[in-house]
Amino acid sequence: MKNISIARSCTVLCLLAPVAMPAIAQTAYPERALRLIVPFAAGSATDSSARIFSVQMASQMGQQIIVDNRAGAGGAIGMQALVKSAPDGYTIAYAGAGPLAINRSMSSNLPYDVEKEVQAISQAISSPLLLAVSPTLPVKSVKDMIALAKARPNQLSFGSAGNGTVGHLAGEYFKSLSKADILHVPYKGGAQAAVDTMSGFVQFLFDPTSSLAPHVTSGRLRGLAVTGPQRAKAFPNLPTVAESGLPGYEVTTWGGIIGPVGIPRNIVLRLSEEVQKAAKSSTVIERYSVLGSDPIGTTPEQFTEFIRKEYLKWAEVIKRAGLKP
């Protein structure tokens, strides 16, 4: 009887095991707060964008997302912290063109490898730059500016937030396609570059629409065009650079969610779905419309391919401009 009882107990356990095991194996994610590394300072454009998404995603996922600013070395410090973190889905990052595409050609000793150590999860936003000129410059269009630059080689200059920034490379790309000789003046930030453009110390700059919008609206700067593939909602009367005199020209700033390589596939897909869902939320759309940006949600594969194309594009621009790491 005792043996029969044991046998019956084993039978019951065996029958229950297939039901119980999946519940144990498939632990709910996320079970605790997530850390979102931002490789730039608090208050920066990247930080502001990251926080818009983190708040919405936290609401959707039912867990807090703690922003961890790791500024320095053009984003390299934060990226290094990311790739060294555990690939469990609880440490992710928000980064853009600099850390993911440009720095590879502008630095000879990056402490991280985008292709081998970074898992693309989803692109989050895309935003055009604004080409703005000093009110003292006698031009009203991109064609006018190119003509003036060619008539005065190396007499016109443009400012940027620093060497290797998107604003700098946007200017180098402009020079390459227009075949005009223009000087670059790097600053320690976009704000100072804008101030010197207003005063006429430098003649123009490329900077995010969110940064330059107040100055263009007030007349302290004159907007000539936007750099995206289509006109910006914030400036519907401004043409794109491509349609106003420089065919083929297109530059956008962008950002997205990434993680360290090795995160389980199901968690990568879950995070990607949450970014895509957040991008469609009315709150996120409204917040970004004020900044002149468009929220975008993509699959991991789409974001990986986008990063690859951006890297190749900027590598070519950097090579043509003769820029050195």
Query: 30: cis peptide before it, omega within 30°?
Result: yes
Q: Is the CB of residue 135 less than 8 Å from the CB of residue 221?
A: yes
Q: In whole angstroms, give the CA distance from residue 264 to residue 285.
A: 30
Please tell me the predicted confidence (pLDDT) of residue 27: 67
Q: Is residue 62 scored above 60 in pLDDT? A: yes
Radius of gyration of the CA atoms of the chain, in A: 24
Please tell me the predicted confidence (pLDDT) of residue 40: 93
Q: What average pLDDT score do residues 314-324 get?
A: 92
Q: Is residue 221 scored above 90 in pLDDT? A: yes
Q: What average pLDDT score do residues 70-77 get?
A: 93
Q: Where are the domains of the chain?
A: 34-127+253-321, 128-226
Q: What average pLDDT score do residues 84-112 get?
A: 95
**For residues 10 and 308, which has the higher predicted lDDT (pLDDT)?**
308
The dihedrals phi and psi of 98, each to the nearest 5 degrees, come to -60, -65
Q: Is residue 241 scored above 70 in pLDDT? A: yes
pLDDT digits (tens, 9 = 90+) for 2-20: 444 444 444 444 444 444 4
Please tell me the predicted confidence (pLDDT) of residue 307: 98
pLDDT digits (tens, 9 = 90+) for 112-142: 999 999 999 999 999 999 999 999 999 999 9
Q: Residue 150, Cα to own-chain centre: how many angstroms?
A: 33
Please tell me the predicted confidence (pLDDT) of residue 21: 38
Please tell me the predicted confidence (pLDDT) of residue 66: 98
For residues 302-325, b (16+ Cβ closer than 10 Å) or e, as one string?
A: ebbebbeebbebbeebbeebebee
Please tell me the predicted confidence (pLDDT) of residue 31: 96
Please tell me the predicted confidence (pLDDT) of residue 9: 46
Give 132's strand partners.
205, 223
Report DSSP letters for 110-137, one per residue: -SS-HHHHEEEEEEEEEEEEEEEE-TTS
Identity of the residue numbered 287: R
Topology annotation, domain 128-226: D-Maltodextrin-Binding Protein; domain 2 (3.40.190)
The two structure tokens encoding residue 6: 């044991």
Q: What is the mean pLDDT of the chain?
A: 91
Structure confidence at residue 43 as a pLDDT band (50, 70, 90):
confident
CATH 3.40.190.150 corresponds to the domain 34-127+253-321: yes
Please tell me the predicted confidence (pLDDT) of residue 2: 45
Q: Is the CB of residue 257 less than 8 Å from the CB of residue 267?
A: no
Task: Note every long-range contact of 9-13, with CB atoms under 8 Å and residues 24 or more positions apart, other chains counting.
Answer: none
Please tell me the predicted confidence (pLDDT) of residue 108: 83
The two structure tokens encoding residue 36: 């979102």
Please tell me the predicted confidence (pLDDT) of residue 303: 98
Q: Which of 37, 134, 41, 142 is nearest to 93 (CA)?
A: 37
Please tell me the predicted confidence (pLDDT) of residue 292: 80
Q: Is residue 59 scored above 60 in pLDDT? A: yes
Give 259's strand partners.
119
Please tell me the predicted confidence (pLDDT) of residue 215: 94
34-127+253-321 and 128-226 share one CATH topology? yes
Q: What average pLDDT score do residues 90-97 get?
A: 97
Q: In whole angstroms, give the CA distance from residue 190 to residue 203.
A: 14
Report DSSP letters for 311-324, one per residue: HHHHHHHHHHHT--
Please tell me the predicted confidence (pLDDT) of residue 19: 43
Q: Which of 24-38, 66-80, 172-186, 241-255 has the lowest mean pLDDT?
A: 24-38
Q: Is residue 230 scored above 60 in pLDDT? A: yes
Structure confidence at residue 324 as a pLDDT band (50, 70, 90):
confident
Q: Is residue 44 scored above 90 in pLDDT? A: no
Q: Is residue 269 scored above 80 in pLDDT? A: yes
Widest distance between CA atoms in the chain: 106
